[in-house]
Structure 1
Amino acid sequence: MAQKGKGIAEASEMPPVEAKAAKYRSFEGLRERFRIGEEYDIVMMREDESYLTTKQGCFVLSLDLLEAGLRLPVPEIAKELLRSWKVAPIQLTPNSWRTIFVFCIICKKRKIEATAEIFRNHFSLACSPQSGMGIVYVKHRTNRMRINFSPRLSNNKGWTGRLFFVGRRKGANIPEWDFPVRVVEPLRKADMAPFLIQGAAAASQSLNAVGVNHAEGYLTEYKLVKYKLSRAWDDEEVAAGRDQKEMAKYAETIPVNLYLIRLDEGVSARGSAQKAKAVVRGGAMKKAPETATIAEAASLPQPKRKEKRKAARQESRAEDRTSEEEVSDERRARKKKKATKTMPRVAERATEVEEEEEDLEPLQA
C-alpha cells in the first residue's frame, strides 16, 4: 500500500510546496534617533527568533534598551557590571539600565567617581523568572540610594520583542566585545554587597540619603552626551546646534518604526532591505508591491522615506479601485446579455435593475 500511494503521488505531478519566505524585523530611523555610528552593523532578526538566539560576532539588543539610555559604544561602568554579574546586555530589564545611567549622572553631579563597586553597594541583582529565562533586574538595598521612575515605566512586559543584532562592520576599528554577549542562566545566589575601603566607602556613604523621583527626566540625549554616557557630538551635529541645551529633547522627536519584511531563503538578512521581496500568496497579492516599496524606502533619507511609502499606498489603492471597476463592468455586461434572451417584461425589469445599480454605485463608493 505504501508503494502504491507513492506511485500515485508521483503520477499526479503535484508541484512541490514552496517554502514561505521568512519575516525579518526591520527598523526605520534607528541610527538617526540613537546616533549609532557606521562602524556598527544593525543585523535583522527573524520574527520567530528571540533574545536567546546567538549569531557569530554579534550580540542581541532591544529598541527598549536604547530608549532606556543604553548607547554604543557601551559605557565602561556598564561593561564592568555585566562582567561582575556575568550577564549579557539583553538580560537586564529597561528600568535596570535606566537605574545604572541615572546613578552615573547623580554621581557626576556630586563630583563622585561612579564605579561598579559603588553601584553594587546600593543596588543588588535579582532574577525575574516571570520575564523569561535569564532575565534579571536591579533592586534597591536597604537604607541606600533610591531611584524611582514614573508609574508608566513600571511595566516591562513585551520589551524582548523589538530585537536586532549588533555587529562590527568589516574594517571598523572596534575591539572585541569585552563583556558577555551570550545569554546564560545566572547563578541563583544572593548578590552580596562588595567591601569598600577608604575613599570609595566615604563616597558611597554620602549617597545613602539621595532619593530621585521621576528619574527618567535625566535620560535625554543631551544629558547622556554631557555626562559621557553617549558618544560626543560630531562636527555636523555641532553645526546643527544639537549640542545646545535648547535642543535637549531633539532626539526624542525622531520617530523609530518597526515593520516586518519578507526575505527569500537565499537572501541574507545582513544585506540591504532593498533586496526584500514580498511573498505573493492568495490575499497577499495586492499588498506585495506596497510591501516591497516600503522595504526599499528603508534605505532612503527619512523625509524621502515617508514620501515613498505614501506614494506606494496611493498606488496600491488606485490599483484596487481599478480592479473593482473592471469587475463591476463585467457583471453589468453579463446581466444585459442574459436579459435579451428573456421575455420583454423580464428584459425591461432587468434594465430597470441595472439602472438602479448604476445609481447606487457612486453612493457605495
Structure 2
Amino acid sequence: MSPRLRTVLLAGGGGGARLARGFYGLVQHAETLVLTNPGDDFEHLGLLVCPDTDSVLYAVSDAIDAQRGWGRESESWSVLAEVERLGGPSWFQLGDRDIAMHLLRREGLDAGQSLTCITGNLAERLGIRGLQIVPASEQSVRTVLTTAEGDLDFQSYFVGRRCEPKVESLEYQGAIEAAPAPDLLAFLQAGCDCVILGPSNPYLSLAPMLAISGIVEALTRAAQVVAVAPIVDGAAIKGPLAKMMADRGLEPTALSWVDEMKTLHPGLVDLWVLDRRDQDAAEVLRLRGERVFTCDTMMTDTTQKIALAGQLIEEVKRFV
C-alpha cells in the first residue's frame, strides 16, 4: 500500500468546509491538515465567534445545517430570542448549540489555551479523528472591506448588509503582524506533498490566510499547490464572489478567476482544477502552458465530496 499523501487544505467558507468533509472520508489515503480562515472571526456578546472554523468542524462531523450551509442541524434559538426580548443585538444568528461551542472556546481562551488546542479539543468532542483542523494563526487577523458606505468588518458586510455595498478594497488587519500557526509549520517541516486551495472566495476566504506573514513561503515548500475553482459554468457556487468580481470589472468565469488568482498570488498555483463544464476555459489555459485538471467539482452530498477529494488525491499523486 502506498504511503498516505500529506496534504494541507486551505478551507474557507462553505466550499472549503465541504471539501474538508471529503478528505475526512479518505483519511486512510491522505494525512490532511485543514487550515481555517480567521478573517471572519469577531467578538459578539462577549464570545469569540469563529464562523469558518466552526463550519469546518460542523461539516466534517456531519453536524452542519445542510439547508443553510452554516450552523448546526436541528438547532434551537431560545437564547437568541431572549437576547432580542431583552433589547440585545440579534442581527447575528447564533443558535443554542452553536453558543455552547463559543462558550467552551471562551473558557479555553480565558484559561490560556491556544486556538489550535481549543479547536482540537472541540473536534475530538464532535467525534472527529484522524484529521487536523487548525486556525491559520494564533494572532488576530480580521477582514475589513472599504465600501461605498465606508469601512465594514466582514460580518457587518456579509450578514448586516447582506453583501449589498460595492466593495472598493479589502484589508486583512493584523495579517502582517501575525504568524502562521505553529502546527501548520510543524506539519510542513515534517514533509508535505501538496497544498490545496479549496473552492473558496479568493478575497474573503483565502486571502486572509495567505496574507499572514510568511505563510505563502511556508506553503510553497510543499511539492505543489493546487487551486480548485469556486466558479462553475459562469456562476459562483455560493456567496458574494460573482458580485465582488463584477465590482472589480471582472466576469464571473473560471478563466477570470484564474487570471485574478495569478494577479493576487503570482507564481503560487501549480495546478488549476476546473469543473468539467468549463472545458473551454481549461483548453485556453492549457494553450497558455498552465496545468489544468477537470472533473465534477460540485459537492451536493457526502458521496460527491469524497469523490472530489479522491480525484484530487489521484491527480496529485501523478506528480509526487
Fold equivalence (TM over 0.5): no
Q: Return the structure number with greater helix share.
A: 1
The interval holding the TM-score normalised by the smaller chain is under 0.3
TM-score between the two structures when normalised by the length of structure 1 = 0.23
Structure index of larger Rg = 1
TM-score between the two structures when normalised by the length of structure 2 = 0.25
Q: Return the structure number with greater strand share.
A: 2
